[in-house]
Amino acid sequence: MNDVQALRQCLGKFATGVTVVTCADANGNPNGITANSFSAVSLEPPLVLWNIAKVSNSLDAYLSAKYFAVNVLTADQRNLAAHFAKSDHTRFDNVEYTTSANGVPLLPDTLATFNCRTHEIHDCGDHYVIIGEVNSFKSAEREPLLFFGSAYRAIAK
């Protein structure tokens, strides 16, 4: 195992929630990408962040998007996580969604949704860090989808 693989495996020991970050590209087409790099940054102002790989097929859409949404998935939305983890992040075939006032696709029945305006983008190694100012949000009482040890998980009861 090389150092990058070992680091990735070690980082996988930190359990995270699973999100699908959505935006509309310059032509208004929906984009979605599975991300577990979501984190709160600040309450005043309300800021969140997530990371996108520089090799992502939908990189240009996210770097140029004025608005995006972070859709936090529930334990029964594993299929959405797998769908948007594929390399073609514009695939909304057979995926139910609504559209925000800013044209951003929103996934239904999520644990939480954060509608954001792009605040800052930072070039960091092999990723970009995208910071968004939260314009609106909603949440529900459901079980979260988790990612741990390179696999999707649910909370054990």
pLDDT the model gives residue 90 = 61
Which tokens is 134 given? 């939260």
Q: Is the pLDDT of residue 132 over 70?
A: yes
Is this structure's pTM higher than 0.85? yes
- If you average pLDDT over residues 127-148, what whole number do you get? 96
The CA distance from 125 to 99, in Å, is: 32
**Homologous superfamily in CATH for domain 3-80+113-149:** Electron Transport, Fmn-binding Protein; Chain A (2.30.110.10)
| Model confidence band, residue 89 (pLDDT cutoffs 50, 70, 90) | low
